Structure formats: structure tokens, C-alpha cells
Amino acid sequence: MTDHSISQRTGKHKQKQLGKSKRALELRAKIIATAMLNGATQEQALISVGYSERTARGQAAAVLGNPVIQAAFSDILEKAGLSDEYVAGKHRELLEAKKIVSIRTEGEGVTEVTVPDYTARARGLDMYYKVAGRYLDKQEVSGKDGGPIQIEQLTDDELTAIIIAERRGNKNGA
């Protein structure tokens, strides 16, 4: 979302903030944080507050790194009694989760064995990565100057020759 006005100080185009006031930005930050805590991806959360798909996709890390948004995450979690220390402790428990399984053996009957609960552990990691913004949403990749990526149709022999030439160049230059 670009505001086409020019900054008198820098002479560059100004970027339009979603929240024109600190209060509006804080409100949008709470909406983003709540959406992500309810399972939305970074991209979905940003779109829900008015970012374009392109901006949401390409600028998610920068937007979510904004101190106001980080404070909104912390505030929501703290109000719910989920301090960083408490959550870390629960995640530690989840990442070390075990379950009891019954094994039927011939002649001995049923034996109970404690084993790692990999499903619970994986879910714990998934939740952590989502909340911490560690997952990357899809990213658009483009070629030179934002254009399409140019792909040449090479035969296997041509591709092999390029690889061999690159290896030779790297050995000679190293």
C-alpha cells in the first residue's frame, strides 16, 4: 500500500502505514497477533488487516518484526497467563512428551511400554514455529528486474558440459 506523496525530508516516496495513529497500529497489531494465534499463516493475518497479497507475501517478516506487533503478541499472551517462561516450560514438556503403548507378546500377554510421543512433539514444534514467525510463507521468485525467470532448454550433454566447465573453473580459481 503505497502513498504517492513525496517526503520533503528525503525526497523519496512515503510508505503508507496501515495505522495512521499509534492506537490504530496497535489495534491492527492485536488483530494480526490474534489471527496467528488462532492458526492463520503470517500472510493470511496480514491480509486480514488490509495488506495486499503481494505485500503480505513479501514483507511478512518485516511487518511482524515491528515492535508494536511484537508487543501485541506479548500483551495477548501475558493477559492469558502465558508468560515466556511459562510457555517455554510447557513447550519443553511437550517436546519431551511420552505415551504408553501396549504390546501384546506371545506367551507373556500385554506389556505396557513408555515411548516418545512424536505426534505431540511435532505439534508442539509446529505451534512454536507459527507463533514465533519462524515459518516462511510462500515467496514469489522472479528473474532479472522482476521479470519472468528465463529457462533455457538444454540437452543432458549441454548441461553436463556446463557443470564440468564450472567445476574446472572453480578448481583453477580456488
Taking only the tens of pLDDT, the chain with its 174 residues reads 333 445 455 554 444 444 567 788 888 888 988 888 888 988 999 999 998 999 888 888 888 888 888 888 888 878 878 787 887 888 889 889 999 999 888 888 888 899 999 999 898 888 888 777 777 666 666 667 777 766 677 788 887 888 888 888 766 655
Give long-range contacts, CB 8 A cutoff, 24+ apart: 123-128: 123/94, 124/91, 124/94, 124/95, 124/97, 125/95, 127/91, 128/91
Residue with cell 494480526: 32
C-beta separation of 43 from 137 below 8 A = yes
C-beta separation of 53 from 14 below 8 A = no
* 117 SS3 class: coil
Residue with cell 504390546: 103
Q: Which of 89, 97, 130, 133 is nearest to 115 (CA)?
A: 97
Residues 46, 42: Cα–Cα separation, whole Å:
6
